[in-house]
Structure 1
Amino acid sequence: MAKLRYLPLPTALVILAWALWLDPNLTQIAAGVAIFLFGMMALENGFRAFTGGALERFLQWATSRLWKSLTFGVLATTLMQSSSLVTVITISFLSAGLIGLAQGIGILFGANLGTTTGAWLIAGVGVKVDIAAYAMPLLIFGVLLVFQRSTTLKGLGYILAGVGFLFLGIHYMKIGFEAFRDTIDLAAYAVPGLRGLLIFTALGIFATVVMQSSHATLVLTITALAAGQITYENALALSIGANVGTTITAIIGALGANIEGRRLAAAHLIFNLLTGVVALVFIHQFVMIVEALGDWLGIGADDFTLKLALFHTLFNLTGILLLLPFIGNLVTLLEQRLKPRPRTVSTPRFINEGLLQTPEAGLEAVRKELDHLFQNVFDIMALVLHIEPARLRRGQGLEQAQVPPERTRVIDVDDYYQRRVKPLHGAIVDFIAQIETHDSQTAQAFRLRAASQDLIEALKDIKHLQKNLVRFMVSTNPHLQREYLALRARLIRLLHELQRIAQGVEENPALSFDILRVETEEQDIVANGQLDRLIRERRINSGVATSLMNDSGYTYDIAKNLINMARVVFAPAEPIMREIDHDIHLDEQEIHDVVGQREQARTPPETARQTGETPR
């Protein structure tokens, strides 16, 4: 059975080779299709070079309203001449949580309308002008730029070469179909009536699924129509089939996406199927409207290629007008019918293979997945610190942090790590390694990877801290007990503050991070002299003093690693807010200066002893 999976491709290649050998005219048409598809691929690669931040930020801004989402879909597809790329980017951003399902549906509706501009371009210029003459200069300059080191120049080169290949492919398809008129008239095989509509709609679906491009199917249809090789009615059916067949791109793009991506693919399928059915049922009415609009626009009575482009635009616009008022209902239906798959706490929630094609969305998904990883580490740390994670998230029990717990227990951190942390951490690191980043994205990926390691290091340190924490929180030495309860209280408060920042409660995260850093420096009992005072005043012996010194170091490292992680993961995503945060962020020297000033403002130890106050 395994061998049978490899039979379809060789069989198709043999059949294609036999068909090309039989008729050289078919070779020109097939070569035109191949060159056109290669041009589409080059064009997509070119535009991907410009998806390193600008397009993504514009997409987030352009989807705040439904009409903006529609407009973005139209303009992006018109510019890129690739609804497939727009679809993939939209699914990626939806999977990363950067846009909502309603906005994603709006973009896809607009992309369907935007893809009709390609039909107008091909029908109005491609089949009436010798565009091969324009293809050659584009290819020359495009290939020269492709070999440059600059990502921008390379992307521009792919775009120019892609357009050149598109023009060249259209040229070869056109002359191929024109050559058929001397040997065979394909129009003689046209099928009239409803049967013909259904057959050619199915052919349009099949061709689009095979070539993965409705543009390629439309070009093939328009060039065949211009050469008189298919009838106008059959061409209309082929365009409907191309529209329905293009949903396969969304479905394939959603295979590696999360539940939101799959819901968007389902919405795309519903829209295109409904639009196709409406176009088939009311095709005669559409033809009448096309004739009337054609006369008003000055389209010639026998200019069937432009009429086909008008028909393609008209039935897509009708589909949008029909479904636009029901987008809210469609979102509700999809959310009710398509449920998320059951998952464990160690299952990735945001990263998936579909996001690898759009680095900016992929990195944003990593950031959210690291928040998920932090929540798992948060739960384990809370248990080690003898406080319920749910209560700590709500800010309950903080006042009891300095009070010994009623019952102490040892948490198997290794077991929790293997079950809840290691699988998720491994998936994050593997995903980051697969993202093809450029320039600033590479630095961002490095920071995210370092943040994930900071979390793991913090978890390892609290594992080492736990042994003495459990032992000395209930020590008979009140001074030693107080110090370990203080270590526990510091970490409990830190986790609570980081949780507040993660939830967006803090208005100024950058300032909160700096305050936490200052407090971490202040509370280091080795640096502030508290450990020396305890030893000097014989409140603890040298044996436990070394344990306390080591555990204070673990606490300091845990706090430092968690704060460093939080700066990367919980920092504002908007570029302007990042600049503001950077401006108010304290550097190392400023932090030490603040600590020194606060130390000087404290009550001197001698005065404290005179007043009976315990120095800290």
Structure 2
Amino acid sequence: MVDTNQAQDSAEIRGARGGWIQWVMVAGLIYLLICAVGLIGSGFKLATGDQAKELFAFATNPFAGLVVGTVATALIQSSSTVTSIIVGLVAGGLPVEVAVPMVMGANIGTSITNTIVSLGHVREKKEFARAFSAATVHDFFNLLSVVIFLPLEIAFGLLEKMGAALAGVFTVSDADMGGVNFVKAATAPVTKTIEGVLTPMGSTAGGIALIVVGIVMIFLSIHYVGKLLKALMVGKAKDIMHTAIGKGPISGIFSGTLVTVLVQSSSTTTSLMVPLAGSGAFGLKQIYPFTLGANIGTCITALLAATAVSGNAEAALQIAFIHLTYNVLGVLFIFGLPFLRYLPVKSAEWLGATASENKMVALVYVLGVFFVVPGLCLGVTSLV
């Protein structure tokens, strides 16, 4: 009996040590993520010089920028990765007004993951209707947000102005102790070493190499952070979700935000909800607020990425705050107005019922919304 207790104690100690090691690894990977964004900014600035605007002239049309963000995120299946790359590009000279529609598009593109997850329920008609509705409510909400806020951004620069105001508050001159940014100083050993190796290749080649290395580092860090956090937190995230779902929409929104911050992935949060909906454990109106919270929680990655960039740090922070502001305003505006509140729910229920009757509708929807329609729009806008 004593041996059994000792074995249990040893197992608990090993588990605790393993948990601490995993958290240290998470911290290390977030450090690499911040370094990677800095490298992309440096590389973009080095490769383009003062030609950043000309390089992205094709995306000065907001619809083209929206399509780029949508397709890139749908292919990569991570809005965190895409928005982190955008933050790095803005730090290197990509105009903020070009980046805003790209961030909006990233919101749409990230919805593909949970939509694909719902296809696993395709064999059971009623189950598939519920699961596909739960997945696509995220799509309809994000599409409605774009329909509302993209025209406002084009006409008045609403998000750009709000992002600039917030960035100005957080980049006051006294905040970095006389010009020493501690986060930037902490990442300097890694970024300066890599830059020292690659910049001798020349401005264009060296800049491109820095961008490629930065993108690879972002992919790897976000991929492994996601894996580690899922192992550490998904069980707790499920508990939070189950506890909060019955407590009303406000609780659902806050819990969706918290879960997404914990697992660093809105795709994970929304994908966790799909089987719950498919099984009938929770209704679409109960799950819907979690989707809204997931949109807000996913902004933490871009904000982290913007804390230490070389180049235009204030612009990088501005685009990160634009991402946050856009998602918070979307929730306040759409969920706050009764006539808009359940429009995504009704649309998703109709699509789920239609797709359960004809499975080809689901396939056409995924390919059409995330690839075919954006591709056609990009082709049309390039000809205009």
Smaller-chain TM-score range? Answer: 0.3 to 0.5
Q: Name whichever structure is richer in helix by fraction.
A: 2
The TM-score, its normalising length taken from structure 1, stands at 0.30
Larger RCO (CA under 8 A, 6+ residues apart): 2
The TM-score, its normalising length taken from structure 2, stands at 0.46
